[in-house]
Amino acid sequence: MSYNFMSITIKKASLYYLVLVLVAIIIPIIHYPRIYGVDAFQ
């Protein structure tokens, strides 16, 4: 029982960190054009 509980907790934690990493990557991609304008991509 305790082993299954631990593995589920680890999976949830890794999913949580994966989502955090994705958000940390996606948010700058969305906001940089608004901050710096189109010139940053030319």
Span 9-32, average pLDDT: 89
Tens of pLDDT, residue by residue over 11-20, are 888 999 999 9
| Helix ranges, 1-42 (H) | 2-36
Residue 21's pLDDT band, with cuts at 50, 70 and 90, is very high
CB 18 within 8 A of CB 26: no
In whole angstroms, what is the distance from residue 14 CA to residue 30 CA? Answer: 24
Residue 15: the pLDDT is 92
pTM of model > 0.75: no
In whole angstroms, what is the distance from residue 21 CA to residue 26 CA? Answer: 9
CB 33 within 8 A of CB 41: yes
